[in-house]
Amino acid sequence: MRKRICILAVSVLVVLMASLLLSGCSHTVGTASARKQAASTGPDWGTLTVEKELPLQYATQFTVTEYEDGYALIDITDSGRYLVVPEGMAVPSGLDKDIVVLYQPLDRIYLAATSAMDLFRAIGGVGSILLSGEDADGWYIDEAKQALEDGSMLFAGKYSAPDYELIYSEGCNLAIESTMIYHTPEVKEQLEKLGVPVLVECSSYEGDPLGRMEWLKLYGVLLGKEELAEELFDQEVAAVNDILGQTGTGKTVAFFYITTTGTVNVRKSSDYVTKMIEMAGGEYVFSNLEDDGNALSTVNMSMEAFYDGAKNADVLIYNSAIDGELHTVDELLAKSPLLADFKAVKSGDVWCTGKNLFQEPMGLGKLIADMHTILTEDEPDSGELNYLHRLTNGGT
């Protein structure tokens, strides 16, 4: 009897697993590919004439080649090539297999790369984003927050665990991910299997802050708003051009935050924030923190090393992105009383970034201007500053 029970139990298991596996493995995704537009009958890819290369001044991580009839080929370093096909046009025949086809209008985007939202906002493209990788509380950008609250944009799960069902059922036609997706490659692969093209935006790899902002042009190409994007970018660059032309102030600056373990997170010399300090006329105190060939942009150092390097810095800027905003010097000293010895603390030249800064790459020009203001003016008017505020000497 017992033997029979065991045989029965094992048989049930084997049958159950075998039926599930066989039925599953025999299935091929027909629906995802069916969602794509019909097979190409468009012009021959090899014969399409290049009209121009999108002019880029600072960005080095992507290029855009514009072809006749409105086709545009985006090439993102280490991410891939994407062909933007204008609405109503067919996919060119003979396209290289690695090129991902994006069909305009791209109006059902899943945006998991938070820094791109500000660039979409700048060109009036928030309405093209249907699905967000952040919920309303995670956004500092009012338009995104509002869209999520009124339901015109839906929260579709964070980048590492997206809601595949929602993304698929909403007919998402493009997922824009940050380089964080490289840590969870299975997510990218699954989205692609479901027929959702994935574009990895690598603006975080841009060494020049204005290069990050220049990704605006790429989103302009995706939404068919190239001219507006170029115009806006030129305006932003013009606003900082005066500052870029000036000689250095000779003032030293430390940009940092104190981690929960008591170490100090500072930028390496190759980081874009370091470059912004230099563009604003300052000298970064940790310019000796060389890039060692990897993509790291920050480093955690001991308080002793920070004390040694930044004690005599003329200006301290506290990075609130991770740790939250500070408003008073007492709040800063609560993190480390040692900072009371610092020259900048004694002179009152301690500033803090706004938490919205890292969601707003369009504001990088304004941040450079802010840095320039605090380096050149003794008592800058707080109304002049967009992303920095001085820590006051009052209690918490």
The 8-class DSSP code of residue 394 comes to S
Output the smallest distance, CB 322 to other proteins, in A. Answer: 8
- Is 97 a binding residue for other proteins by CB under 8 A? The answer is no
How far, in Å, CA of 254 to CA of 249, rounded? 15
- Is 21 a binding residue for other proteins by CB under 8 A? The answer is yes
Per CB under 8 A, the list member of 163, 278, 323, 330 interacting with other proteins is 163
- Is 136 a binding residue for other proteins by CB under 8 A? The answer is no
Complex with other proteins: residue 131 or 221, whichever CB lies closer: 131
By CB neighbour count within 10 A (0-12 exposed, 13-18 middle, 19+ buried), where does 185 fall? exposed
Residue 292 token pair = 């060692």
Per CB under 8 A, the list member of 98, 186, 378, 381 interacting with other proteins is 186
| Of 185-193, 209-217, 221-229, 328-336: span binding other proteins (CB under 8 A) | 185-193
Could you give the 3-state DSSP secondary structure of residue 386?
coil
Within 8 A by CB and 6+ apart from 62, the residues are 56, 74, 75, 76, 77, 202, 215, 218
- Is 169 a binding residue for other proteins by CB under 8 A? The answer is yes
Whether 226 contacts 217, CB under 8 Å: yes
Could you give the 3-state DSSP secondary structure of residue 93?
strand
Per CB under 8 A, the list member of 39, 239, 296, 340 interacting with other proteins is 296
Output the smallest distance, CB 276 to other proteins, in A. Answer: 19
- Is 185 a binding residue for other proteins by CB under 8 A? The answer is yes
H-only helix segments in the chain: 2-25, 31-35, 115-122, 142-150, 164-169, 185-193, 209-213, 215-223, 226-244, 272-279, 303-310, 320-323, 329-335, 343-347, 364-376
- Is 291 a binding residue for other proteins by CB under 8 A? The answer is no
Query: How big is the site for other proteins, counted in residues (CB under 8 A)?
Result: 57
How far, in Å, CA of 391 to CA of 380, rounded? 13
Per CB under 8 A, the list member of 158, 311, 327, 390 interacting with other proteins is 158
Per CB under 8 A, the list member of 294, 337, 379, 383 interacting with other proteins is 294
How far, in Å, CA of 122 to CA of 116, rounded? 10
Complex with other proteins: residue 42 or 195, whichever CB lies closer: 195
Residues that bind other proteins (CB under 8 A): 1-2, 5-6, 8-10, 12-13, 16-17, 20-21, 24-25, 27, 29-32, 78, 135, 155-158, 160-166, 168-169, 179-180, 182-187, 189-190, 193-195, 205, 293-298, 300, 322
